[in-house]
Amino acid sequence: MTGSERPLVWVGSSRRDLRRFPRAVRRDVGQALYTAQQGETDPSAKPLRGFGGGSVLELIAEHHGDTWRTFYMVRYAEAIYVLHAFQKKSKRGIATPKKDIDLIHRRLAEVERIHRERQN
């Protein structure tokens, strides 16, 4: 890792959950997260609506007809925080399920707490 790369901080079960993804999806998500560590935005990353501009980003990967989603936050300069990773099960609509949005909110609150503690 070079001096300009931001470290990844895995929040909750996000790392374990991502490791359950198919290899091709893990590779694509890993490349996008590495791009974020370099201070850039991967073309596959899109801002998550309702989360204050572009500080929470969503990666959507398709693999064999299934959809895999990973969410990460870039708001703070000290790290890239990986908030959540899951396979989208519902075939109806593209909206992120409410239970997953609620989990992202809880993990964002945890990141806010971690950030405040690092500042003190």
**CATH number of the domain to which 13 belongs:** 3.30.2310.20
Locate tokens 């890239």: which residue? 80
Mean pLDDT of 11-23: 97
Find the domain containing 77 and state its range: 8-119
> Does 55 reside within a domain?
yes
pTM of this prediction?
Answer: 0.90
> Does 40 reside within a domain?
yes
> Does 79 reside within a domain?
yes
Q: How many domains does the chain have?
A: 1
Residue with the bigger pLDDT between 102 and 2: it is 102
Q: Which helix (H) or strand (E) holds 57?
A: strand 56-63
Residue with the bigger pLDDT between 17 and 94: it is 17
- Residue 17 exposed, middle or buried by CB count within 10 Å (0-12, 13-18, 19+): middle
**3-class secondary-structure state, position 7:** coil
User: What CA–CA distances, in Å, run from 107 to 22, 40, 71, 103, 114?
Assistant: 24, 23, 11, 6, 10
> Does 2 reside within a domain?
no
